[in-house]
Amino acid sequence: MKELVQNFPTQLHEAMLIGQSYRFTASKKDFANVVLTGLGGSGIGGSIVQNFVSDKLSVPFIVNKDYFLPAFVGKGSLVIVSSYSGNTEETLQAMQQALKAKATVICITSGGKIAELAKKKKLDCIMLPAGMPPRACLGYSMTQVLFVLQGMGLLDYNFKKDLNASIKMLKTNGKSIQRKAAALAKKLYGTTPIIYSTAEYEGMAIRFRQQINENSKMLCWHHAVPEMNHNELVGWRDKDNSKAVIFLRDEQTYERTQYRIEINKKIIRKYTKNITEVYAEGKSYWEKIFYFVHLTDWVSVYLADMRGHNATEVKVIDFLKGELGKH
């Protein structure tokens, strides 16, 4: 896993080459909505892209993480099927529903049943390098979502410039990012991490939580400001320094939200002294996102080392899939 994290900037470069070389056969049309269906490491890229396009697309962009698609999916829908393995049963079932609804379907995968079905149905299918844990391939899968949106005429934004700048930034600051990650991992060791972000970075907060779950083998939770000010904030009543709060922040965040975070810190500090703020680095949204991704991925593998766990191992998920396969 460390090698995969280390090679993240290279992965982004390779993802750019894959996206730039792909030629779509599906026709551009006036889509009524976009639905990305995918789970885990294959679906989280959709959540992050959803945050990004919320003020850029003229149609709704929905992320589906279930067996069933929303009822509105039909001929006017673009359904992006994202499954790294190509065998995720929930995603495969949702794909079949999309085909039945006569939606335009585009797949992002490394193979499996989804690639086979895409070939049979003559669908666009962007193929990714195989043989890695899906959560370690975020750069591959998320980048292709942007290429799909652009290729279908939905996204008028030069994200390629931002991604190239992100790659350069990560390579330049690699050692600094690792040092900061190691320091944060020490603060989180032996704690229950609680990740807070603003709404625009909630997809990133989910990603961080998932990496701590899978790589570090730890429970944690996340929430977003301002929503958490209307519920979770009231739950802070008991002093417990084993709760470690991490605020993912951006200096460009809306001023009222910034002010809310400062008030939140005052309240939470009464109940835990373990509060850390991590500020995004970079100029564009994507530079900041990839900075957060790279930093927090390192945090998760450092925590795995400190806890004596193999960051790659997911035996409990393998057991779950084995049990599901019996029925």
What are 262-308's pLDDT values in tens digits?
999 999 999 999 999 999 999 999 999 999 999 999 999 999 999 99
Q: How many helices and strands (H and E) does the chain possess?
A: 12, 9
Q: 326 in a domain, yes or no?
A: no
Q: 101 in a domain, yes or no?
A: yes
Predicted pLDDT at 314: 82
Q: 16 in a domain, yes or no?
A: yes
Q: 312 in a domain, yes or no?
A: no
Predicted pLDDT at 321: 84
> In the listed set 137, 157, 177, which residue is the last one of a domain according to the structure?
157
Q: What number is the average pLDDT over the span 38-42?
A: 92
DSSP string, 279-317: E--SSSHHHHHHHHHHHHHHHHHHHHHHTT--TT--HHH
Cis amide prior to 226 (ω within 30 degrees) = yes
Q: What are the phi and psi torsion angles at 75 (to 5°)?
A: -60, -30
Give the CA distances from residue 193 to residues 44, 111, 184, 190, 243, in Å, rounded to whole numbers and listed in that order.
19, 35, 11, 9, 6
Q: What are the phi and psi torsion angles at 290 (to 5°)?
A: -70, -30
Active site residues: 214, 230, 321
Q: What number is the average pLDDT over the span 97-110?
A: 97
Per-residue pLDDT band at 324 (split at 50, 70, 90)? confident
Q: 316 in a domain, yes or no?
A: no
Show the domain range for 194.
163-306
Half-sphere exposure of 4 (CA within 13 A, CB side): 19
Cα dihedral 135→137→142→143 (10° resolution): 170
Say whether pLDDT at 323 is over 90: no
Predicted pLDDT at 312: 85
Identify residue 242 by its one-letter amino acid code.
Answer: S
> In the listed set 125, 157, 189, which residue is the last one of a domain according to the structure?
157
Q: Which residues pair with 49 in a beta bridge?
A: none
Residue range 311-320, pLDDT digits in tens: 888 888 888 7
User: Under 8 Å CB-to-CB from 64, ≥6 apart: which residues?
Assistant: 35, 36, 37, 38, 70, 94
Same domain, 143 and 178: no
What's the rounded Cα separation, in Å, for the pair 205 and 298? 15
Q: What number is the average pLDDT over the span 17-42?
A: 94
Q: 184 in a domain, yes or no?
A: yes
Q: What is the pTM of this model?
A: 0.94
Same domain, 126 and 234: no
The total number of structural domains that make up the chain: 2
Residue range 227-255, pLDDT digits in tens: 999 999 999 999 999 999 999 999 999 99
The CATH number assigned to the domain holding 248 equals 3.40.50.10490
What's the rounded Cα separation, in Å, for the pair 243 and 217? 16
Q: To the nearest whole number, what is the mean pLDDT of the chain?
A: 94
Residue range 137-189, pLDDT digits in tens: 899 999 999 999 999 999 988 899 999 999 999 999 999 999 999 999 999 99
Half-sphere exposure of 192 (CA within 13 A, CB side): 9
Predicted pLDDT at 181: 97
Per-residue pLDDT band at 125 (split at 50, 70, 90)? very high
Q: 322 in a domain, yes or no?
A: no
Say whether pLDDT at 66 is over 90: yes
Say whether pLDDT at 71 is over 90: yes
Residue range 195-229, pLDDT digits in tens: 999 999 999 999 999 999 999 999 999 999 999 99
Cβ atoms of 129 and 140 closer than 8 Å: yes
Q: 106 in a domain, yes or no?
A: yes
